[in-house]
Amino acid sequence: MSAWLAVLVHTPAHAAMGPVLTYRHRQVLPAGTLVRVPLGARETLGVIWEPAHDEASGEFDPDKVRDISEVLDTVLPLANAWQQLVRFAARYYQRSAGEVALAALPPQLRELSSLQLQRKALRLQKALGLQATAGEPANAKRPSPVVLDAGQAQAQVLSAEQTEVLAQITTQSGPFLLFGATGSGKTEVYLQAVEQLLAHEPQAQALVMVPEINLTPQLEARFVERFAPQWGPQAVVSLHSGMTPAQRLSAWLAAHQGGARIVLGTRMAVFASMPGLRLIVVDEEHDPSYKSGEGARYSARDLAVYRGRLEGAKVVLGSATPSLESWFHSRPPSEGGRYLRLHMPSRIGAAGRSLPLVRRVDMTHQPRHAVFSLPLLEAMKERIARGEQCLVFLNRRGYAPVLHCSDCGWKSACGHCSAFRVFHKTDRTLRCHHCGHSERVPRTCPGCGNLDILTLGRGTEQIEELLTTLLADVRRTGSQSAEQPEGQAVRIGRIDADTTRLKGTLQSQLAAVHAGEVDVLVGTQMIAKGHDFRRITLVAAINPDSALFSSDFRAPERLFSLLLQAAGRAGRDAAMGAHSEVWIQTFQPAHPVYAALKNYDYPSFAQSQLQEREQAGMPPFSYQALVRADARSQEAAQAFLNLARQRASSDMGQWPGWAQVLEQVMLYPAVPMSMQRVANVERAQMLVESASRHALQSFLAAWQDVLHGSRSDPACKGLIRWAIDVDPLAI
């Protein structure tokens, strides 16, 4: 007697066979069971899938069916809800369920045998059991590299706003949008919501997501401090791509077996298998990093909301600058809102910690080519002299974005991309930030031999250098401690992708800032987000205007949230917060983005943006998908897209109901992407838009076959790949 089992595997993208294959085994296995199966010449990980395959259906040829090689029965089957989440994500984002499922499982599961897994699981269980029975002392937890404020280790007495918000989260079903100023104590609310949950439900688990790996150590430290004493050090695990495969597997197993009560992670954690999931927190929910940029281009925030509903878990989305989508969803229920909006406008410790004063410097009144306006420079000098820290924010790394020759007009274009190579002075290279191509800086102009090659524009390296000169005569008088003796020269630090390439360097650089070893911190958006700097009292955005001219309709929203996040880095310490400031250097001081920022008025900014979006029929008032095509030539990329577009109306007429679907969907002609060429690959895209999410989904699902079919058309010769991006964030 043998059973025919449907097994979900990761088949090559767009292969003729579907992702669910039939295998034979001596007995039926429950859906969700992990197995290893032969696939072609190799062996691969698979998941028993539903519905089961039936010989009578004629879907497979019993003589050709192969045997399951191994059942990984030391790992509990994946729950129904998890399978459902995968099915939904695959369908919604137009990818195969096999790809989504296998990408969501820890990579090491693919390699270890059942026996090795068993050992690993036993070790985990032992660790958990030990701590439950013998009461392992709480200080046996892993050493934390992060220094916490004393106050963060214990539960705080909540402010009135926090109390009210927590009560709402406890008594209502959500989903919630927690709209709270930076420093209003959102994290404390998450912590206490988790605390209540764990106290009341012995099996309950909570998932807390943050947008970036960089932010996990500090958050992890806070959660471990808070929960390890009672629940043991194993109760908190992290899941993100910065972990080793072994660490990821352990954390995943701990969550899957229920031992880990709290999972902290980046977007991938939304797929963590958590049988007791009761609460999902998505912190900084507006952050674009929640959207995956490859494979299934899913939004972890949107999936979190879906998953919460599916599993009956509460979902809390938190932000000081919510995405316009979430803001719109949290309008009053009477107007159709589906999320409950909760508001915490005040910073903790109100009196001393009001939000920093926003000052706009009109650069049209400053000397031409000035990088730092005089008043900003004066303000910085004053702060430094007093022993306070400044943060200078510029979203461009390297020394200069372009080199050029004024004699012949040569520019440092990348030969492989439609972009300029950036001049990095530290190692004297010209580097393309898109394809990575790097070369030594030429001594003379490659065009005409001119010795005098000039830089255009400025990056963080140059700002660091410039500040060293501009602040050379400043001496610190106000001293904080013995380690910071008075009368010393200004210390300038820089944090960006270049200074943090090596593992651990970001943490040590942040630690130096926290320890007061830096007076001025120069950096990219990497430092604008989340970090809890205590002594920074002045934040300066020296050249934020470029985002105002972007063709992307989301650019103003992005700029507003980035600047407000950056502003949130200032004045986080009660004693210093009172006089903290944010400086914006701009040629358009009256621009609505800056005006709203000045008043910290996100609601009216959001309202005006939403009005514009509604008039233009943009999301969240419409739904979008992008089809991107990569090819050897721009013609081939566009030909493929335009062919599929044309076939949507010409070849698909036989589909029942197709006319109605097509009527509701708008297909735009193919256009080159704004970064048209990367690493010698030409890129084009086509926008698909509809006022109905349902119509868009039906269209895409049916249109997939046409896209597959168009690939082989002679006109599309040179096409390399194509992909659908549902709810794209950048257009």
Distance CA 661, CA 655 (A): 10
Q: Toward ligand ADP, which CB reaches closer, 256 or 569?
A: 569
Q: Toward Zn ion, which CB reaches closer, 195 or 407?
A: 407
Q: Does residue 180 interact with ligand ADP by CB under 6 A?
A: yes
Query: Which positions from 96 to 135 touch ligand ADP by CB under 6 A, shown as an x/- string?
Result: ----------------------------------------
Query: Which positions from 158 to 177 touch ligand ADP by CB under 6 A, shown as an x/- string?
Result: xx--x---------------
Say if residue 651 is exposed, middle or buried (CB neighbours under 10 Å; 0-12, 13-18, 19+). middle
Q: Does residue 153 interact with ligand ADP by CB under 6 A?
A: no
Distance CA 327, CA 606 (A): 8
Q: Does residue 434 interact with Zn ion by CB under 5 A?
A: yes
Q: Does residue 155 interact with ligand ADP by CB under 6 A?
A: no
Q: Which does 700 bind (CB under 5 to 8 A by kind): ligand ADP, Zn ion, none?
A: none
Number of amino acids touching Zn ion (CB under 5 A): 15
Strand partners, 431: 422, 438
Q: Does residue 186 interact with ligand ADP by CB under 6 A?
A: yes
Q: Which does 511 bind (CB under 5 to 8 A by kind): Zn ion, ligand ADP, none?
A: none
Site residues for ligand ADP, window 334-373 (CB under 6 A)?
348
Phi, psi for 546 (deg, rounded to 5): -55, -35
Instruction: Answer whether 322's CB lies under 8 Å from 330's CB.
Output: yes
- The DSSP element (H or E) to which 190 belongs, if any, is helix 186-200
Q: Does residue 442 interact with Zn ion by CB under 5 A?
A: no
Q: With CB under 5 A as the contact rule, which of the stretches 326-334, 354-362, 449-457, 498-506 interacts with Zn ion? A: 449-457
CB of 450 to Zn ion, least distance (A): 4
Instruction: Answer whether 584's CB lies under 8 Å from 543's CB.
Output: no
Phi, psi for 680 (deg, rounded to 5): 65, 15
Which of 121, 445, 490, 538 contacts Zn ion by CB under 5 A? 445
Which of 435, 542, 648, 670 contacts Zn ion by CB under 5 A? 435
Residue found under tokens 């090596």: 502
Alpha helices in 430-504 (DSSP H): 460-470
CB of 418 to Zn ion, least distance (A): 9
Q: Which does 103 bind (CB under 5 to 8 A by kind): ligand ADP, Zn ion, none?
A: none
Distance CA 237, CA 671 (A): 44
Distance CA 170, CA 74 (A): 36
Q: Which does 417 bind (CB under 5 to 8 A by kind): Zn ion, ligand ADP, none?
A: Zn ion
Q: Toward Zn ion, which CB reaches closer, 409 or 617?
A: 409
Q: Which does 14 bind (CB under 5 to 8 A by kind): ligand ADP, Zn ion, none?
A: none
Q: Does residue 624 interact with ligand ADP by CB under 6 A?
A: no
Q: Toward Zn ion, which CB reaches closer, 256 or 404?
A: 404
Q: Which does 448 bind (CB under 5 to 8 A by kind): ligand ADP, Zn ion, none?
A: Zn ion
Which of 450, 455, 550, 633 contacts Zn ion by CB under 5 A? 450
Residue found under tokens 């509701």: 664
Q: With CB under 6 A as the contact rule, which of the stretches 40-48, 151-159, 363-371, 609-617 interacts with ligand ADP? A: 151-159
Q: Toward ligand ADP, which CB reaches closer, 149 or 486?
A: 149
Q: With CB under 6 A as the contact rule, which of the stretches 18-26, 71-79, 119-127, 148-156 interacts with ligand ADP? A: 148-156
CB of 680 to Zn ion, least distance (A): 9
Residue found under tokens 């009210």: 164
Which of 149, 201, 612, 705 contacts ligand ADP by CB under 6 A? 149
Distance CA 203, CA 260 (A): 10
Q: Does residue 439 interact with Zn ion by CB under 5 A?
A: no
CA 392 and chain centroid, separation = 23
Query: What is the number of residues in the chain?
Result: 731
Q: Does residue 157 interact with ligand ADP by CB under 6 A?
A: yes
Q: Where are the beta strands (DSSP E) in 220-364?
A: 236-239, 262-265, 277-283, 314-319, 340-344, 357-362
Distance CA 499, CA 384 (A): 23
Q: Toward ligand ADP, which CB reaches closer, 183 or 232?
A: 183
Distance CA 228, CA 236 (A): 8
Closest C-alpha among 289, 273, 192 to residue 237: 273
Distance CA 560, CA 577 (A): 22
Q: With CB under 6 A as the contact rule, which of the stretches 152-160, 270-278, 362-370, 486-494 interacts with ligand ADP? A: 152-160
Amino acid symbol at 374? L
Helix (H, G, I), strand (E, B) or coil at 232: coil
Q: Toward ligand ADP, which CB reaches closer, 33 or 152?
A: 152
Number of amino acids touching ligand ADP (CB under 6 A): 17
Q: Does residue 711 interact with Zn ion by CB under 5 A?
A: no
Distance CA 123, CA 253 (A): 11
Distance CA 472, CA 465 (A): 11
Residues 6+ positions from 476 with CB-CB distance below 8 Å: 384, 385, 386, 387, 484, 486, 487, 488, 490, 519
Distance CA 714, CA 20 (A): 31
Q: Does residue 192 interact with ligand ADP by CB under 6 A?
A: no
Q: Toward ligand ADP, which CB reaches closer, 34 or 562?
A: 562
Closest C-alpha among 16, 21, 17, 23 to residue 2: 23
Which of 224, 228, 405, 696 contacts Zn ion by CB under 5 A? 405
Measured at the CA of 50, the angle between CA 46 and CA 56, to 5 degrees, comes to 105
CB of 353 to ligand ADP, least distance (A): 8
CB of 388 to Zn ion, least distance (A): 41
- CA distances 37 to 14, 16, 58, 60, 252, Å, are 20, 19, 21, 16, 22
- CA distances 388 to 379, 491, 519, 569, 669, Å, are 11, 12, 7, 13, 54
Could you tell me the two tokens for 623? 């739904």
CB of 347 to ligand ADP, least distance (A): 8
Instruction: Answer whether 602's CB lies under 8 Å from 596's CB.
Output: yes
Helix (H, G, I), strand (E, B) or coil at 698: helix
Q: Toward Zn ion, which CB reaches closer, 60 or 410?
A: 410
Closest C-alpha among 636, 623, 645, 609 to residue 731: 623
Q: Does residue 183 interact with ligand ADP by CB under 6 A?
A: yes
Q: Toward ligand ADP, which CB reaches closer, 185 or 308?
A: 185
Which of 207, 417, 538, 539 contacts Zn ion by CB under 5 A? 417
Which of 107, 129, 137, 151 contacts ligand ADP by CB under 6 A? 151
Q: Toward Zn ion, which CB reaches closer, 291 or 431?
A: 431
Q: Toward ligand ADP, which CB reaches closer, 498 or 532?
A: 532
Helix (H, G, I), strand (E, B) or coil at 413: strand
Could you tell me the two tokens for 528? 């604008």
Which of 74, 182, 499, 690 contacts ligand ADP by CB under 6 A? 182
Q: Which does 416 bind (CB under 5 to 8 A by kind): Zn ion, ligand ADP, none?
A: Zn ion
Q: Toward Zn ion, which CB reaches closer, 416 or 598?
A: 416
Q: Where are the beta strands (DSSP E) in 15-162?
A: 20-25, 34-39, 42-48, 66-67, 70-71
CB of 427 to ligand ADP, least distance (A): 37
Sites of contact with Zn ion (CB under 5 A): 405, 407-408, 410, 414, 416-417, 432, 434-435, 437, 445, 447-448, 450
Sites of contact with ligand ADP (CB under 6 A): 149, 151-152, 156-159, 162, 180, 182-188, 348
